[in-house]
Structure 1
């Protein structure tokens, strides 16, 4: 199935010699039904600027444009993919802007002029996905420049993002995501959907910002969660020693013998406020 008159992705990859590079965390999606499903998971795209990270040969890019995105701004580090993306740009004149470069060095908030809502939709390269998400969750000012994030991660990372206290997957990511956003897993994607197939199942996660999260310095919250979950089997008086230990816990009224996974997000925020 093709929703545009461009060639199937397998042909595109053959024509441009695009084998996936492990060093870039690449796993290409060939199934255009699947890329369309990811694009639809982001909600209505008409009148929206979509930022995509790591478009590769452009399967998701094509779906985003076919679903009516006003503009797609794609950041691609792999120069081999630029000629394939240029063909999509020719098919959708003025609607695709490709920025060659490293997503970790990109100022995302400056990519659009603010005249339209912004959504970030991406099959993130595995090696930068978590780091990018943490940056988007701790961005200032808040509410952020984006309306939503629709992102693909390894299933295990997705479970950590949506985890709540006492859940086995609850940790630093769950606290940071739960503090400022609401997130849910939309659907899973089996390894065989990718080329090359990864060893694990992937999941698409949809994340929407909360308008009034508890006020706290995001870097302090990151420090508290890193210390607490870095030694998650230990009691908090031990794992938080470097940040004040028992004195900090007494200030907030938290039992020093508790462990990190038992704390609510509000309690983590209170600890961060009192560092």
Structure 2
């Protein structure tokens, strides 16, 4: 296996520091530095960017991001056992790696970075979706970050890029595709990780749009979409009846048949429905 820098192979780093992956922290370590460098390249030209990484573990992706030229990497790691390994990377890349030992859900790490900012991470399975939703729903759009390059369980990745009519299509697809271009850029088998998870993984790259694709109030759209997909097998006139007493009229005004189900409705129609709700 080719080395991307002068630091030891990751298996050696893990053995030296006793870094067995903890299931409670959603940890699955990716040890192939060629793969971590490939993931880093999916994030685009990093040479003038600060990069946020969540859950670096022993630092495989961290090393890939730095080797690919990131101006600075801010790594947020909850597991204090990983700090000595990350400190070795910081020494090898002077002034370019900052590490915060904290829970990524408890802080706002973007406040420590200077634009342009990209986010790249092999997200811990147990917090990946929640972090993505936070990044997609800031108070102001466009957000401070330019792109997200994130690894998820493949099932979650498919939900992000799913088209209407597919079984994976739902709230996450609408949330992502309303404000971003989203595509799966890599697939990874379970055996690429230690320990090997029971599921396949995939890397999704999301590029922010300067403005949402269609006009809609974010809070109203979120409420309508959540209600529609919470009872996705029901017709919309039933699943949305709790939101307005004359829901059928609102649906028709948005160009939607009241007998349609949520998975049949495209992003543009959902935005039209959100505008109808806002007017009502």
Query: Considering the TM-score relative to the shorter chain, is it more than 0.5?
Result: yes
Q: Determine if contact 1:20/1:196 at 8 Å carries over to the other structure.
A: yes
> SS in structure 2 opposite 1:77?
coil
3-state SS of the aligned residue for 2:143? Answer: coil
1:91 is aligned to: 92
Query: Tell me, what secondary structure is at the counterpart of 1:241?
Result: coil
2:242 match: secondary structure: helix
Equivalence for 1:176: 175
Cα contact 2:255–2:269 (8 A) shared by 1: no
TM-score w.r.t. the length of structure 2 is 0.94
> For the Cα contact (< 8 Å) 1:220–1:272, is it kept in 2?
yes
* SS of residue paired to 1:147: strand
Instruction: Give unmatched runs, 5+ long, in structure 1.
Output: none
Counterpart for residue 157 of structure 2: 158
1:8 match: 9
Instruction: Name the residue aligned to 2:76.
Output: 75
Unaligned runs of 5+ in 2: none
Asked if structure 2 preserves the Cα contact closer than 8 Å seen for 1:138 and 1:219, the reply is no
Deviation of 1:141 after TM superposition, in Å, equals: 1.4
TM superposition shift of 1:223: 1.9
Task: Give the number of aligned pairs.
Answer: 273
What is the root-mean-square deviation in Å for CA atoms of aligned residues? 1.3
- Asked if 1:269 is matched to 2:268, the reply is no
The residue that corresponds to 2:256 in the other structure is 254
CA distance in 1, matches of 2:91, 2:242: 56
Query: Deviations 1:126-175 (Å, cap 9, x if unpaired)?
Result: 11111111111111311111111100011111111011111221111111
SS in structure 2 of the partner of residue 179 of structure 1: helix
| Normalised TM-score (structure 1) | 0.95
Q: Hey, what's the Cα distance between the residues in 1 that align with 2:235 and 2:24? A: 38
